[in-house]
């Protein structure tokens, strides 16, 4: 990316941007006698001009950015930003068609939007990447607020202004600053919107299924997005099940175009567009947005593991385009008092039906070694492992796909927990947060390690969960303690707040479980 200093970006003003390269055509355009000839030549001439302000080859479709703009994977000195070019601003026959065009992004100072700091190269957005343009801005300042402006154009047309977003870089290890973020899962579009072709769930009567959202503002999207936007967040974490390829079951998404549709219908919702314009994001995927419910990497069906990975890296800002085998597990030192770990629970796992034991793994050897090494290296007051799936639960007894499941991956969980205890990390502000489960809870393992479940984002995807002592749970003997477990079905999110030390008080970590309207359901405060 080239730096432009403080100069304003100058957009082309000519109705035909490349005419000035051909004086004879430009003069002809001023003379009505040659106007017909000029248009004929313009329509047949194809010339590529490689500049940031001039684009070539005529196109007829109208450009939009129907899914807004998204900032992701913010660090102390970098951020990814992406935009999808579309042919409409809303769903057309159930999908949001893409449109070929060119995109560039402008980084500006928040306090002085006219002060351009960096301008990205011009990126062609086409079908090969679902018309998504993504860039990485580097050499940013820690703890600094920026404005991202987007511009897009058809070939042979001047750029027009697109949506803009704001974000703040992470303060980093030397800065004791307050931090707020939310953790969510279970954004089930079909249940929220009451898709009429959604079949009854196995073992349930239609009367037992949750009602879809009935508000007049349903077309705007999930109410929780408004509540979270009002929290004044530093960032947002989607832990997986961000879309559901296998909901509705008929028809489920099995082709690349069908899988892409799931992301289109999700992020075109106006409340998502508004939210992403204000709050940067970090993402994980789980079963429903990788393949199907409780999936592993076995089975000859679609989506395949390769297709799931392709869409994951295409639709979400994990890495800059062209990155060679980007790692989807990573850690971010947010501030002096906070470090988060985002783990990968689908790509490296053993088959679910493999007998549990030392060789069975969700994380894989390399990720596990990385996780242990980086945890030991951290001196953050609070260390939060954000997992797509639970490690403590309790969960449903019949399941086999996560660390809490009896016939799942408990051996890896127990070995990891023993390692945590050996290094006394549980006494150094270590916590687990998880998605996947459709209910909110706060669980404490017999050895004292704690897990916070964020529950489903929307009411229509929430359920009453399993409790310790439930014979249908993974903890029939009630060894797990639960300071909090939802007693009523409710969607929502967990708000995490980190406050620096003040006077005689050490740094403070607060978890707040909230419903989809932002009402506090439970609070847990921890001080170091």
pLDDT in single tens digits along all 528 residues of the chain: 433 333 333 334 333 333 333 333 334 334 433 333 333 333 333 323 333 444 433 344 689 999 999 999 999 999 999 999 999 999 999 999 999 999 999 999 999 999 999 999 999 999 999 999 999 999 999 999 999 999 999 998 999 999 999 999 999 999 999 999 999 999 999 999 987 444 455 544 444 556 788 888 999 999 999 999 999 999 999 999 999 999 998 889 999 999 999 999 999 999 999 999 999 999 999 999 999 999 999 999 999 999 999 999 999 999 998 888 899 999 999 999 999 999 999 999 999 999 999 999 999 999 999 999 999 999 999 999 999 999 999 999 999 999 999 999 999 999 999 999 999 999 999 999 999 999 999 999 999 999 999 999 999 999 999 999 999 999 999 999 999 999 999 999 999 999 999 989 999 999 999 999 999 999 999 999
CB 142 within 8 A of CB 170: yes
- Separation between Cα atoms, residue 126 and residue 378, nearest integer Å: 42
Give the separation between CA 188 and CA 458, rounded to whole angstroms. 7
Q: What does pTM read for this prediction?
A: 0.88
Tokens of 284: 């994980």
Helix (H, G, I), strand (E, B) or coil at 265: helix
**The dihedral of CA 256, 261, 266, 267: what is its sign?**
positive
How far apart are the C-alpha atoms of 135 and 307, rounded to whole Å?
Answer: 23
Q: For tokens 């549709």, what's the residue?
A: 261
- Please give the CATH number for the structural domain made up of 60-168: 2.60.40.380
Contact 140, 177 (CB under 8 A): no
Please answer whether residues 148 and 106 qualify as being in contact, where contact means their C-beta atoms are separated by less than 8 angstroms.
yes
The strand pairing partners of 134, in sequence order, are 82
Question: Distance between CA atoms of 518 and 222, rounded to whole angstroms?
Answer: 12
CB hemisphere CA count around 375 (13 angstroms) = 29
> CA–CA separation, 372 vs 419, rounded Å?
9
Strands 123-125 and 69-72 come out as unpaired
Domain borders along the chain are: 60-168, 179-527
CA distance 372 to 343: 12
Q: What is the distance between the alpha carbons of residues 416 and 393, in angstroms, rounded to a whole number? A: 16
Angle 410-422/365-377 helices, nearest 10 degrees?
20
For the record, the structure tokens of 238 come out as: 């989607």
Q: Given this structure, which CATH class describes domain 179-527? A: alpha beta
User: What is the H or E stretch that residue 390 is in?
Assistant: none
The CA distance from 352 to 362, in Å, is 9
Neighbouring C-beta atoms of residue 158, cutoff 10 Å: 17
Q: Which residue in 451, 507, 511 sits closest to 480, CA to CA?
A: 451
DSSP of 88-142, one letter per residue? -SS-BTTB--B--EEEEEEEEESS-TT-EEEEPPPEEE-GGGTTEEEEEE-SPPT
Residue labelled with tokens 């769930």: 201
Q: Are 413 and 405 in contact (CB under 8 A)?
A: no
Q: Residue 222: CB partners within 8 Å, gap ≥ 6?
A: 187, 192, 213, 269, 271, 272, 457, 458, 516
The b/e string for 283-316 (b: 16+ C-beta within 10 A; e otherwise) is: bbbbbbbbbbebbbbeeeebbebebbbebbbbbb
């Amino acid at each position: 990316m080239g730096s432009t200093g403080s100069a304003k970006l100058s957009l082309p003003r000519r109705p035909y941007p490349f005419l000035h390269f051909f004086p004879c055509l430009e003069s002809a355009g001023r003379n009505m006698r040659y106007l017909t000839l000029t248009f004929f030549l313009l329509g047949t001439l194809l010339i590529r001009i490689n500049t940031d302000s001039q684009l070539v080859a005529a196109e007829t479709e109208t450009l939009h950015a129907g899914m807004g703009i998204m900032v992701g994977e913010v660090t102390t000195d970098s951020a990814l930003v992406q935009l999808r070019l579309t042919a409409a601003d809303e769903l057309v026959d159930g999908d949001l068609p893409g449109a070929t065009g060119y995109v560039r992004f402008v980084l500006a100072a928040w306090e002085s939007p006219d002060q351009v700091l960096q301008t990205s190269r011009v990126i062609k957005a086409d079908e090969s990447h679902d018309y998504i343009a993504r860039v990485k801005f580097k050499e940013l300042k820690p703890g600094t607020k920026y404005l991202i402006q987007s511009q897009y154009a058809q070939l042979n047309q001047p750029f027009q202004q697109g949506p803009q977003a704001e974000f703040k870089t992470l303060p980093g290890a030397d800065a004791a600053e307050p931090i707020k973020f939310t953790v969510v899962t279970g954004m089930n579009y079909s249940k929220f919107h009451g898709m009429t072709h959604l079949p009854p769930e196995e073992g349930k009567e239609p009367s037992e299924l949750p009602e879809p959202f009935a508000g007049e503002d349903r077309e705007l999207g999930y109410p929780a997005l408004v509540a979270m936007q009002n929290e004044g967040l530093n960032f947002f974490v989607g832990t997986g099940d961000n879309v559901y390829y296998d909901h509705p079951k008929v028809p489920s998404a099995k082709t690349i175009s069908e899988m892409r549709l799931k992301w289109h219908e999700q992020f075109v919702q106006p409340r998502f567009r508004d939210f992403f314009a204000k709050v940067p994001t970090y993402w994980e995927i789980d079963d429903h947005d990788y393949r199907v419910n409780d999936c592993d990497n076995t089975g000859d069906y679609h989506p395949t593991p390769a297709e799931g990975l392709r869409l994951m890296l295409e639709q979400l800002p994990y890495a800059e385009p062209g990155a060679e085998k980007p790692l989807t597990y990573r850690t971010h030192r947010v501030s002096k008092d906070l470090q988060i770990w985002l783990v990968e629970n689908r790509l490296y796992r053993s088959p679910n039906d493999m007998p549990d034991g030392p060789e069975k793994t969700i994380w894989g050897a390399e990720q596990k070694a990385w996780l242990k090494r980086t945890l030991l290296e951290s001196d953050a007051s609070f260390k939060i492992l954000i997992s797509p799936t639970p490690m403590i639960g309790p969960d449903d007894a019949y399941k086999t796909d996560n660390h809490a499941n009896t016939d799942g991956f408990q051996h890896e969980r127990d070995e990891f927990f023993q390692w945590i205890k050996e290094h006394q990390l549980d006494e150094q502000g270590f916590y687990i947060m998880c998605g996947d489960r459709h209910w909110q809870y706060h669980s404490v393992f017999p050895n004292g390690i704690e897990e916070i479940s964020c529950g489903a984002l929307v009411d229509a995807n929430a359920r009453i969960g399993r409790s310790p002592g439930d014979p249908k749970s993974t903890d029939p003997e009630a060894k797990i303690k639960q300071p909090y477990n939802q007693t009523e079905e409710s969607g929502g999110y967990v708000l995490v707040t980190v406050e620096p030390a003040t006077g005689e008080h050490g740094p403070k970590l607060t978890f707040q479980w909230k419903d989809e309207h932002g009402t506090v359901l439970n609070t847990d405060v921890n001080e170091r």
